[in-house]
Amino acid sequence: MLQQLFSPSVLHTLDLIGIFVFAISGALLAVRKNFDVFGIAVLAEVTALGGGLFRDLVIGAVPPAAFTDLGYFVTPLLATGLVFFLHPHVERIQTGVNVFDAAGLGLFCVVGTVKAHDYGLGLTASACLGLTTAVGGGVLRDVLANEVPSLLRWDRDLYAVPAVVGATMVALCIRFDALTPFTSVLAVITAFVLRLCAMRYHWRAPRAWHRRSAVVEE
């Protein structure tokens, strides 16, 4: 189905762009944590490839694309080199990086959902793996950096919710036989715009009703 929606060259290019931007976010966190060059590379690779790798292992697409396409492995290393030498400049364009990160989020939640369904999973499971493809690398990044994953923190702008919306849109389109290049792009754009709005207006998910906690808020 993926090949019917996008040409292989277009899909591959979009994948590499998303991987590169995700890798930059991982490398930047590694720099902030004062990791050495190896640690920076590991965090970049995990952030960029972790979600897709988990998805491929679950659906049985082995060996995963990250191990069969050299470009998937090399691209995070390029991001590592860029951040290692130019991290002060990259930090200054963090807003731009966040915009591309939002675009990668939208792309990966859609591609992940479609690929999971292509391998025979049901709609709900496919949408869950679409979400995992989009946010899984970020979760692994935060865990390795000894931080609470961003998507679990109440004080962070919505990240997983836009991916859930995008993946759900794709699942519904598959259910009603309406998945086309147009509706796929629409799902990507919807997730992308929701993430941008969350960053712009600081949208956050609600916490427990009538919450009572002794935990000190940061």
pLDDT digits (tens, 9 = 90+) for 139-167: 999 999 999 998 888 889 999 999 999 99
Q: Is-contact 44 20, C-beta < 8 A?
A: no
**Cα 134 to the chain's mean position, in Å?**
3
Task: Show me where the domains of the chain are located.
Answer: 2-201
Over 60: is that where the pLDDT of 216 sits?
A: no
Q: Crossing angle for the helix pair 37-59 and 94-118, nearest 10 degrees?
A: 30
Q: For every residue of 82-105, which 3-state class applies, written as one string?
A: HHHHHHHHHHHCHHHHHHHHHHHH
CA distance 109 to 106: 6
- Those residues whose C-beta lies under 8 Å from the C-beta of residue 31, and which sit 6 or more positions away, are 40, 83, 84, 87
**What pLDDT, in 10s, does the model give residues 86-142?**
989 888 888 888 898 999 999 999 999 999 999 999 999 999 999 999 999 999 999
Counted residue by residue, the chain has a size of: 218
Q: Which of 153, 152, 190 is nearest to 168 (CA)?
A: 190
Q: Which of 119, 104, 109 is nearest to 171 (CA)?
A: 109
Q: What confidence tier does 193 reach under pLDDT thresholds 50, 70, 90?
A: very high
Cis amide bond preceding 63, omega within 30: yes
CA distance 110 to 114: 6
Q: Which of 191, 144, 183 is nearest to 163 (CA)?
A: 191
| Phi/psi at 154 (5° precision) | -70, -25
